[in-house]
Amino acid sequence: MAEPPYKVVDIFSGAGGFSLGFEMPERLNGLADLGYEEIGFDERAFETIAAIEQDDNTAETFRRNFDAEVIEGDVRDVDSFESWDDADVVVGGPPCQGFSNLNKTQTAELDDERNSLWRHFLRAVEDIDPDVFLIENVPRFLKSQEGVRTVEIAEEMGYTTVVDTLWAHKYGVPQKRKRAFVLGSKLGVPFLPEETDGPIRTVADAIGDLPNEPTEENWHVSRKQVTELSKKRFEEVPPGGNRYDLPKELMPECWKNKTQGGTDLFGRLWWDRPSVTIRTEFYKPEKGRYLHPEANRSITIREGARLQTFPDDFEFYGARTRVAPQIGNAVPPKLSYHLGQAMKSHLEGETSSVNPEAETDHEIFEKSFRVGSEKQSQLQAFGT
């Protein structure tokens, strides 16, 4: 059995949310007023040896923060992954836009080329043959035929898989972000981390110490070229309010007769709650609840990074509009840390158990079972 540091290959690495939580979680200690203390492993637990990322700016961000080989390019152009066959773990989040709730196409009708990228993730798993792999995606992935095939193929390759959705705010992240995970192992029945016992972290905890007026330093920068009309709209939205609070004369024509629909559009965050999901265009209030709780502006790049639990010394590369997607697409490092804790325990010999009589939340996984032990509960195993 391998010993730490366990070697990791990060596919579709993005800026490195997975790798940061696995390899350098201690960098989160002392972040803002989030109360992060004693985060880290007793010894170095993981080492990212390779990352694959197509976007040039994002790849450069990864290079500047990690001592790993970075392959800048399309994963489909990688002929073989066997040069990293000494890796113990493969992680990654295949691009999920085709599965996102923002995509209104019916799940069964999805035919987005990006959705085939999960196949290349599994090709990497097959070539590398790690002890453990972990896929992150939007919850809708677990209701798709592609999600089913992912698990079926992994089982055919000899992995036992567990499947579940996790809420980031239940792991100390100041953000209500729900994501799906597929965890496979050749060491037994793996398990996802149990929820933390600490308090729910809020927007105030994450960004309350930052000046209301952006400093234009270290990414505390807001959206540029804001129109006078937009400024008037910002002033009309109260704490927790949204586009419905705008007077008719300030509403865009497309909103005037739209009395139903999302309540987060042009919404203002609450100080005393976690934020909504930080997406790739969080600097645009028209895209969601991204107005500062108090100031009449959208949240800054630094504030978005804080809500995703990136430390202030994490070095992002690129223009503002290129950095925001790096932040929004990432797995929150604080959540990654807890995933790493569970995977480390499993790599060291701890396994879970299967309860074949329990129900599953994901009907499409007809063979799914809920997994439980004294430490891990409400997880699901497929094909065991």
Per-residue pLDDT at 143: 80
Domain count, the chain: 1
pLDDT exceeds 80 at position 259:
no
Question: Would the pTM of this model clear 0.95, i.e. be above it?
Answer: no
Per-residue pLDDT at 1: 72
Q: Which of 110, 96, 94, 88 is nearest to 22 (CA)?
A: 88
250 falls within a domain: no
- Average the pLDDT over each of 114-128, 233-247, 301-315 and give the range with the smallest value: 114-128
> Who has greater pLDDT, 362 or 72?
72
- Average the pLDDT over each of 2-16, 17-31, 113-127, 359-373 and give the range with the smallest value: 359-373
178 falls within a domain: yes
Helix pair angle (145-156, 117-128), 10° resolution: 10
Strand bridging mode 46-53 / 368-371: unpaired
Per-residue pLDDT at 253: 81
365 falls within a domain: yes
> Who has greater pLDDT, 210 or 144?
210
Instruction: Residue 98: give its domain's CATH number.
Output: 3.40.50.150
In eight-state DSSP terms, residue 275 is B
Q: What is the largest CA-CA distance in the chain?
A: 67
- Average the pLDDT over each of 104-108, 145-149, 167-171 and give the range with the smallest value: 104-108
258 falls within a domain: no
Residue 107: domain span:
6-197+330-382
How far apart, in Å, do the first and last CA atoms of the chain sit? Answer: 22
What is the mean predicted confidence (pLDDT) over 199-225? 95
pLDDT exceeds 60 at position 124:
yes
Q: Which of 338, 306, 347, 331 is nearest to 39 (CA)?
A: 338
Q: Which of 175, 300, 292, 176 is nearest to 241 (CA)?
A: 292
Contacts of 186 (CB under 8 A, 6+ apart): 131, 132, 158, 159, 160
pLDDT interval class at 260 (50, 70, 90): low
Q: What is the pLDDT of residues 283-328, one digit of tens each?
A: 999 899 999 999 999 999 999 999 999 999 999 999 999 999 999 9
Q: Mean pLDDT over all residues of the chain?
A: 88
Q: Please give the Cα distance from 159 to 383 (Å, whole number).
A: 9
Q: Residue 94 class from Cβ within 10 Å (0-12 exposed, 13-18 middle, 19+ buried)?
A: buried
Per-residue pLDDT at 356: 53
Q: Residue 190 class from Cβ within 10 Å (0-12 exposed, 13-18 middle, 19+ buried)?
A: buried
Q: Which of 282, 295, 138, 275 is nearest to 213 (CA)?
A: 295
For residue 127, give the H/E element and its range: helix 117-128
21 falls within a domain: yes
262 falls within a domain: no
What is the mean predicted confidence (pLDDT) over 201-216? 97
pLDDT interval class at 262 (50, 70, 90): confident
66 falls within a domain: yes
